[in-house]
Chain A
Amino acid sequence: MPGTLTSKRFKVEDLAAAVDFCYTRGWSDGLPVVPPTESAVRAMLEAARLAPDAKLAYIRDRFVTVTAEKVAINAVMAGCKPEYMPVVAAAVEGIGDERWGYHGPGTSTGGAAVLMIVNGPIARELDINAGDNLFGPGWRANLTIGRAVRLVMRNVCGSMPGLLDRGTVGHPGKLSYVIAEKEAESPWAPLHVERGFRSEQSTVTVMAAEGPHQFYNQLSSTAEGILTTLADNMRISGNVMGQPHYCLVLAGEHMKTIAADGWDKKRIRQFVWEKTQNSHAHLKRTNRMSGALEPGDEDKMRPLVASPDDILVVAAGGRAGAFSCFIPGWSSAKSSAAITKEIKR
Chain B
Amino acid sequence: MSIEILDPTTPAAPRPIEYSPRPGSLAGKRVALIENTKFNSDKLLQRIGEILKAEHGVAECTMYRKHNASVPAHEEIIAAIKTSADVMVAGIGD
Contact = CB atoms under 8 A, between A and B. Distances in A.
B70 A10 contact: no
A11 B2 contact: yes
Contact of B70 (A7, A65, A101): A101
A335 B69 CA distance: 8
A108 B94 CA distance: 10
B91 to A, nearest CB: 15
Contact of B8 (A11, A13, A14, A70): A70
Interface string A207-245: 000000000000000000000000000000000000000
Nearest to A9: B4
Contacts of A7: 6-8
B94 A11 contact: no
Interface stretch (A30-38, A82-90, A262-270): A30-38
Contact of A63 (B13, B39, B70): B13
A77 B9 CA distance: 12
Contact of B5 (A12, A70, A155, A290): A12
A156 B2 contact: no
Interface in B53-94: 67-72, 94
Given A63-B12, A63-B15, A104-B70, A8 B1 contact: no
The range of chain B's interface size is 20 to 34
A169 to B, nearest CB: 14
Dominant secondary structure at the B interface: loop
Contacts of B25: none
A142 interface: no
A70 to B, nearest CB: 6
Contacts of B12: 62-64, 158
B12 to A, nearest CB: 6
B68 A332 contact: yes
B26 to A, nearest CB: 30
Contacts of A63: 12-13, 15
Most buried by A among B2, B3, B4: B3
Nearest to B43: A290
A10 B5 contact: yes
Given A14-B3, A334-B67, A334-B68, A66 B10 contact: yes
Contacts of B40: 290
B6 A151 contact: no
Interface string A8-49: 111111110010011000010000000111100100000000
B10 A156 contact: yes
Interface in A308-345: 331-332, 334-336
A334 B15 CA distance: 28
Nearest to A110: B70
B9 A156 contact: yes
Contacts of A290: 39-40
Given A290-B39, A290-B40, A8 B68 contact: no
A63 B3 CA distance: 32
Nearest to A332: B68
Nearest to B70: A104
Given A7-B7, A38-B4, A101-B71, 4 more contacts: A8-B7, A21-B5, A73-B8, A104-B71
